[in-house]
Amino acid sequence: MLRNLLLSTFLSLKAHKLRVFLTMVGIIIGIAAVVTVSSIGEGMKQSSLKMLDSTGSNVVRLIYRPDVDEDSDSPGEFETYAFSKNDLKLLRKLDNITTISADYGYGFGADESIQVSLSYFDNLGGDQVIANPGNGKNTVAYGRDFIPSDAERNVIILSYQTMKFSLMVNKPEKLIGRAIDVDGEKFLVVGIKNEPDDMGMNMDPNLFSSVIPKKAFNNLSKSKSINGIKLKVAPDTDRDQIVEEANEKLKEYHPELTGNFEEDKSSEQMRQEVENMIQQVVMGLVFITAISLLVGGIGVMNIMYVSVSERKREIGIRRAIGAKPANIMAQFLLEAAFITLLGGVIGILLGWGISQLISTIPGIEAILSVKMTLISAGVSIAIGLIFGVIPAINAAKMDPIKAIYQ
Amino acid sequence: MTEQDIHSTPLIELTDINKYYPVGKNQLHVLKNLNLTIERGEFLMIMGKSGSGKTTLMNIIGFLDQISDGTYQFDGEDASKLSENEKSKLRNQYLGFIFQQFFLIPSLNVRQNVELPMVYSGNKKDGKRKELANHYLSLVGLEDKTHVKTTELSGGQQQRVAIARALVNDPLLIMADEPTGALDSETGQDIMNILTELNKQGKTIVMVTHDNDMRKYATRVIYMKDGLFLTEEEYLNA
Ligand SMILES: Nc1ncnc2c1ncn2[C@@H]1O[C@H](COP(=O)(O)OP(=O)(O)O)[C@@H](O)[C@H]1O
Ligand SMILES: [Mg+2]
């Protein structure tokens, strides 16, 4: 039955190729616009999140949260706790953790970082500094990257932002080869990182951090307290369970603590916020674009009315040989859905093409998700069904003899 | 019920039926207190000039139109209070329609047209449908036209496709409304030969015509004028 219905739908559409195509144009444009906007939006979202933390959701930042006693006499005083290197060693025994690093600051990403104060002549500022993560493969725009002999020296590759806004130097060349003050120690500036591009998108997750060699980093971090532990977990692991296990392990060794070790959700929250914000902007744009689909839908309704009135006799004949009203309705609904689905598929391809074209502009990335593709296809079918339903009901209700003898 | 009882029930039994059509504020009395019984195996010819009510009577028998009053028994069952779906099913299973203007569906090819009643009855697999369609097409001599567009066929060929379409669900009754009306006399003859052959094989046929020469094919003839049945003399003298 269905196969025959599909076949006869196909045949009756084939008989009116041009008209069917013209009807589809509205849907094609609407879907193409939605797909373009949403895939550019998705690309924007992905690269913003990538910038926020390259390691994405695979990093759990473990912190200590003191037990807040509501009846306490001195509510302002909380028990504080600084992690020790020994705590890091303890956690190494847990499963599903790929790397463990101490967190001296509150930085993004999975790499160990410390907050330091910098000065250059009269200009002072703070910065996040990390230990050379790329082992001599930093994205350096000015000066040079580390060389092996730097390992024992106090050298630094500054982030562009730090140079410009903390040290107030506008020309990178002026700073290369000069010494700056990092937490009271002299460091030689050997390189400056890339300037973040206009869209704030860049592949280097540590773009905003300055980099120093491992040994210098260790020296500086000695005087810092470890605020948290960053656990990089294997993909698809249950974060809550890891946190639970880590809490048990640490409390076993620190029975004196009344609080708990928990995940610091603040960067996760920030990530979520950014994600939501972009999502909302994109949804808003998609919604506006989707209005053009409404116009397309009305076109479909119009053509279905034409099709029904043109094929009155066919409807009457089908009824005379035994078609039930529901069969007639299904036939026209299917026809409408077929037109819009075909339009939708062409629209998806066109939208994909357009977004690929736009993404050749530097800094713009286009990502067409499977989800969006399926939603677009679903929306296309839905438009056909929604706008086809009234003409289809008209066809089904038609009196067979009036339809045949017109 | 015994076999004999079943066959003693007339296929169609119309009792005191009237049909009115509303025309403006008036009622047009199209069928006037008619009584008609059709037995199995008959080839009944309904003769009458244009406008006498023949098509209206056919449409009523064919569940396409309702009687205004009276009773209609189809195969012993009251047919006056059937739902749209039930009527569709009866048309599909028990009736085969043949129209003056053939009324094939132009977007479908010959075999697809013939398969259509089976598609709506939905009880046969694709292969079986094709096989039956081919069988009935060869019965009407169109075995070599199965994949042809219906618009490429002559009138006589189109009517033969319509006959095949009317036969595929093995109906109790074939209803032909002026089946030769749009054909030249020679082609009309071919169509009548097919219908007579079907009747000889046991099919019940009701046919409407205004052509007196067609009477020779029928097993019984009734005459109509202005919504009334007449005797042969009344009709021929009118
Ligand atoms: N749907 C209708 N509404 C009003 N009058 C109709 C309708 N159908 C048929 N008639 C009228 O009923 C009469 C009988 O028509 P019809 O049954 O088609 O006659 P025939 O088939 O013998 O030519 C005619 O006068 C015709 O105008
Ligand atoms: Mg007529």
Q: What is the pLDDT of residue A53?
A: 58
Two tokens, residue B17: 């039926």
pLDDT at B35 over 70: yes
For residue A10, list chain B residues with Cβ-Cβ distance below 8 A.
none
Largest CA distance in chain A: 100
| pLDDT confidence band for B23 (50 / 70 / 90) | very high
The answer to the question of residue B71 being in a domain is no
Question: pLDDT tens digits, residue range A327-366?
Answer: 999 999 999 999 999 999 999 999 999 999 999 988 788 9
Mean pLDDT along residues A261-273: 79
Question: Is residue B1 scored above 50 in pLDDT?
Answer: no
Where does B50-140 show beta strands of DSSP type E? 69-74, 77-78, 95-98
Q: What average pLDDT does range A175-190 have in this prediction?
A: 90
What number of helices (H) and strands (E) belong to chain A?
Answer: 12, 11
Chain A hits for B92, Cβ within 8 Å: 321-323
Instruction: Kindly report, residue by residue over B148-164, the tens digit of the pLDDT.
Output: 999 999 999 999 999 99
Task: Give residue-wise pLDDT tens across range A80-102.
Answer: 777 887 888 888 888 878 888 88
Positive/negative CA dihedral, A40, A46, A50, A52:
positive
- Name the 3-class secondary structure at A125: strand
Q: What angle do CA B98, B104, B108 make, to 5 degrees?
A: 145
DSSP string, A113-150: EEEEEEEETTEEEEEEEEE-TTSS---EEEE----GGG
Q: What is the number of domains present in chain B? A: 1
Average pLDDT over residues A241-268: 83
Distance from CA of B107 to the nearest CA of A (A): 6
Residue A405 pLDDT class (50, 70, 90 cuts) = confident
Distance between CA atoms of residues B57 and B102, nearest Å? 19
Asked if B99 is an interface residue toward chain A (Cβ–Cβ < 8 A), one would say: yes
Mean pLDDT of B15-26: 95
**What's the gap between Cα A282 and its chain centre?**
12
CA atoms of B203 and B143, how far apart (whole Å): 22
Query: Which of B205 and A201 is assigned the larger pLDDT?
Result: B205
CATH number at residue B97: 3.40.50.300
Query: For residues B41 and B204, is the Cβ–Cβ distance under 8 A?
Result: yes
Q: Looking at residues B102-112, what average pLDDT do you find?
A: 94
* Token output for A20: 């069917």
Give chain A's mean pLDDT. Answer: 84
Complex prediction ipTM: 0.94
For residue B50, give the ligand 1 atom closest to its CA: 23
- Write the CA distances from A241 to A99, A238, A269, A344, B83, integer angstroms: 17, 5, 19, 43, 63
Among A68-77, A224-233, B219-228, the range of highest mean pLDDT:
B219-228
Task: Give the residue-averaged pLDDT of B85-106.
Answer: 96
pLDDT at residue B123, as a whole number: 82
Contacts of B170 (CB under 8 A, 6+ apart): none
**How many percent of chain A have pLDDT more than 90?**
30
Q: Tell me what the mean pLDDT of segment A62-67 comes to.
A: 82
Question: Over the Cα atoms of chain A, what is R_g?
Answer: 32
pLDDT digits (tens, 9 = 90+) for A201-215: 555 667 778 899 888
pLDDT over 80 (residue A296)? yes
Lowest mean per-residue pLDDT among A199-203, B56-60, B171-175, B222-226: A199-203
**Which residues in chain A have their CB less than 8 angstroms from residue B105's CB?**
314, 317-318
H/E element, A370 = helix A370-397
Contact call for B103 and A404, based on CB within 8 A = yes
The per-residue pLDDT for A204 is 65
pLDDT at position B15 is: 97
Does the pLDDT of residue A57 top 80, yes or no?
Answer: no
Asked if the model's pLDDT at residue A7 lies above 90, the reply is no
Q: Is residue B19 part of a domain?
A: no
Residue B35 located in a structural domain: no
- Residues from A contacting B (CB-CB < 8 Å) are 1, 3-4, 7-8, 11-12, 14-15, 313-314, 317-327, 400-401, 404
Q: Which of B18, B20, B23, B28 to mutate to test the pocket of ligand 1 (most atoms within 8 A of CB)?
A: B28
Look at residue B162 and tell me if it is in a domain.
yes
Single out the residue of A38, A36, A17 nearest to residue A342, CA to CA.
A17
Q: For A209-240, write each residue's pLDDT tens digit.
A: 889 988 888 888 877 878 788 888 887 778 78
- Residue from A9, A20, A321 whose CB has the most chain B CBs within 10 Å, to mutate: A321
CA Rg, chain B, in Å?
A: 18
Q: Is the pLDDT of residue B7 over 90?
A: no
**In chain A, what are the domain boundaries?**
2-51+272-405, 59-264
- What digits encode the pLDDT tens for the residues B41-94? 999 999 999 999 999 999 999 999 999 999 999 999 999 889 999 999 999 999
Amino acid at B65: D
Judged by CB atoms closer than 8 Å, whether chains meet at A1 and B122 is answered as: yes
Whole-number pLDDT of residue B162? 97
Full domain range(s) for residue B180: 43-55+83-237
